[in-house]
Structures are given as structure tokens and as C-alpha cells.
Amino acid sequence: MRNRFIRRGVGVAILFTIFYVMLLIIKPFIDTNSYQYTPAFSISSEDFPNWLLDKSYLKNQAESISEKIFKSEVERQAKAFSEVYFLEQPIKKRKTIKQIALTFDDSPDDWYCPQVLRILEKYKIKATFFLIGNRIKTYKHNALAIQNAGHLIGNHSFAHDKLTQITTEQMMEDLKLSEDVFVQELGIKPLLFRPPYGMISDEQIIELGVRGYKIINWSIDTYDWDIKRNSPLELFMRIEKYAHNGGIVLLHKAFY
Ligand SMILES: [Zn+2]
């Protein structure tokens, strides 16, 4: 009698284990909220021509007139310069695992940087960091921590000026300063560029494109930069609402 109970118990445990393992295997295929986190544009340059998007979109619904203007401007540029300017990541067609990229602007710093790196390490997520050139020397240890953790690094200008308010020549002077710092301090020359505030003129896009840069904006704005609507819950709900395959999420991690 007792043996029968034990056998039945073992049988149920084995069935449960098989069911659980099966569930883990098929989860990515059935769970619409299951995403693989990847750095933005981690694909190799040889692959690039096969990955081009005709157009990409900013998924956020505009909540004000200025946001409406911004959205239509970035979507126009993404369409007009689809080989060098992106709001979304190109994704392989029919790929079953959905990918999303977390991007962090305005680092390095001493306050948020270590915390964000700890969280990313805990969840084994590789992200993309767009570093500001003039911060790299001051917070070099944290720039190196980002690099050593294996995250992708992009250029976010030297002085964080609004590029639409300066000339293309001035932008190139600023970029040169930034490139020099990246090379001297980190030994790299990233070819991913995120314009401060996501704003850049058509002429400036063309100039950067000629020099081999890819301009990477975002398709999901968390509004973590806006104190009036940046509680952790609001950020989370916004990401969940607009999450999509090939999505690029805008986040920040600098202390001003
Ligand atoms: Zn910025």
C-alpha cells in the first residue's frame, strides 16, 4: 500500500518535471511578453546590408504638440535616411525570439552607473550605453566598467549640445573632440551615434553617414527624463505598452 503511494508520488513528480521542462522550451514561442535583450545594433557590419529597414517608427503616442512635431520629424528622417538613421533595430524576418534593446544615455557618472551595471549583471542583460565625451575623463573608471562588462558603447557627442542649434561644422568639431577622448581613454572609436535630445538636421545626418556612422535614436521613450511622469511604475508600464520586436528603449543614467 505504502509502496503504491510512493510510486504514484514519484510518477506525478516525473510528469510534473517533464511538463515544466516542456513549458520552459516552448515559452519563448507562446509568450508574447518574452523578449531577448540585445545591445542595439550588435550585428556585424558585413550583415548590415541585409538588415536594412525601409522605415522605422517611434511607437509612443504623442502626448503634446511638441511631441507630435518631434515624432513626425524623426519618422520622416528614418524614412528619408533609412540606411543610416534608425528608430528601431532591423530584425531577421520570421525570427521566433523577439528582441529588444535597452539603451542608456548620458553616462558615465558615479551615482547611477554602478547601480545600473549591477542590475544588468544580475539579469545577464547586455545593453548599449551612449557616453558623453566630456564625462569620460572624469568618470573613466565607470566608462571602463561599462566596457569591461561587455556592453556596447556609442558616442553621444562631446558637449551634449542641441545639434539643430549648431552648424554641421560645429557638430563635426564637437565629434572630433569626442572621438579623441574615446580613443585615448577607452581605445575605441564607436560608430554608433545618438544625437543629444534625439535632434539632428538632415545635413548633419548625411555628414555622419559619409563618415560611416549609424545614427541610433529610439522607438520607445520611457520619459525617465521628465520628472512629472517618471515614477518606476510609469516607466515600466510605458515599456510594456510599447514593447515590440526590434524595439529600442530610451533610458538615462546620469546624475545632473
Ligand atoms: Zn543625452
pLDDT on residue 31: 52
pLDDT on residue 11: 77
pLDDT on residue 40: 75
d(CA 245, CA 237): 17
3-state secondary structure 49-101: HHHCCCCCCCCCCCCCHHHHHHHHHHHHHHHHCCCCEECCCCCCCCCCCEEEE
Three-state DSSP state, 131: strand
Alpha helices per DSSP H over 123-183 = 133-136, 140-148, 168-181
Q: How remote is the CA of residue 131 from the centroid of ligand 1, in Å?
A: 8
Three-state DSSP state, 227: helix
pLDDT on residue 199: 98
Which parts of the chain have pLDDT scores under 70? 1-2, 21-33, 42-54, 92-96, 254-256
Classify the phi-psi angles of 94: left when phi > 0, otherwise alpha if psi is within -120 to 50, otherwise beta. Answer: left
pLDDT on residue 29: 52
Q: Based on the number of CB atoms within 10 Å of its own CB, is 255 exposed (0-12), middle (13-18) or buried (19 or more)?
A: exposed
d(CA 200, CA 253): 22
Percent of the chain that is helix, strand, coil (3-state, to 5): 45, 15, 40
Q: How remote is the CA of residue 19 from the centroid of ligand 1, in Å?
A: 47
pLDDT on residue 138: 95
d(CA 106, CA 131): 5
pLDDT on residue 13: 76
pLDDT on residue 130: 96
d(CA 255, CA 169): 29
Q: How remote is the CA of residue 127 from the centroid of ligand 1, in Å?
A: 16
Angle at 83 between CA 79 and CA 87, to 5 degrees: 55
pLDDT tens-digit map of 1-28:
567 777 777 777 777 777 776 666 655 5
Tell me the pTM.
Answer: 0.83
Q: How remote is the CA of residue 123 from the centroid of ligand 1, in Å?
A: 25
pLDDT on residue 12: 73
Q: How remote is the CA of residue 18 from the centroid of ligand 1, in Å?
A: 48
| Nearest CA among 163, 152, 250 for reference residue 207 | 163
d(CA 196, CA 155): 10
Q: How remote is the CA of residue 97 from the centroid of ligand 1, in Å?
A: 30
pLDDT on residue 54: 65
Q: How remote is the CA of residue 207 from the centroid of ligand 1, in Å?
A: 20
d(CA 130, CA 153): 6
Are 223 and 86 contacting, i.e. CB atoms less than 8 angstroms apart? no
Q: How remote is the CA of residue 22 from the centroid of ligand 1, in Å?
A: 43
pLDDT on residue 1: 59
pLDDT on residue 191: 93
Q: How remote is the CA of residue 128 from the centroid of ligand 1, in Å?
A: 13
Q: Which residues does the annotation mark as catalytic? A: 105, 252
